Amino acid sequence: MVLMGLANTLTLESIITGVGFSQTFYQQLAQPAGQTPNCPPPGASQLQIGNNIILVPSGFTIQGVWVFAPVGSTNIKIFKGVTGDTGFTSLWGAILGVASGGQFVINSAAIEVVSLIWF
């Protein structure tokens, strides 16, 4: 009997719409069969009011992070690449492409703990 390795795949779908226009983009982030994911364990970050710099753990193979807020959150968060960016707004969270050793910014309207799932 031969056991085959399983592959993990996360597919991100982005839909951009406007007047008379709609475009869908897909990005697959795959972990090939037979390889052990080299990602840090899930974590959390305590957001303060204003810009919060989130450091991406070093020494791992990271393609992105899923940031999500507590259920029922009404706290507006702006996700940015760096402090000076305009970013984009979300209540529930975001899926961001990040690299090991990098950073990103979450501007928060209130104090709140968000969860971080690295992939």
pLDDT for 30: 56
What is the count of structural domains for the chain? 1
User: What is the phi/psi pair of residue 57, to 5°?
Assistant: -55, 145
Q: Which residue range(s) make up the domain with 83?
A: 37-118
**Letter for the amino acid at 56?**
V
63 falls within a domain: yes
62 falls within a domain: yes
- CATH number for the domain including 93? 2.60.120
Sequence-ordered list of residues with C-beta below 8 angstroms from that of 14, at least 6 positions apart, any chain: 24, 25, 26, 27
Q: How large is the C-alpha radius of gyration of the chain?
A: 16
Sequence-ordered list of residues with C-beta below 8 angstroms from that of 71, at least 6 positions apart, any chain: none
pLDDT in tens, the chain (119 residues): 444 444 456 666 767 777 877 777 766 655 554 444 677 888 899 999 999 999 999 988 888 899 999 989 999 999 998 877 889 999 888 989 898 899 999 999 999 999 998 88
30 falls within a domain: no
68 falls within a domain: yes
24 falls within a domain: no
6 falls within a domain: no
pLDDT for 21: 75
15 falls within a domain: no
8 falls within a domain: no
Cα(81)–Cα(94) distance, rounded to whole angstroms? 13
Cα dihedral 14, 68, 48, 113, rounded to 10, equals: 180
How many CB atoms lie under 10 A from the CB of residue 80?
17
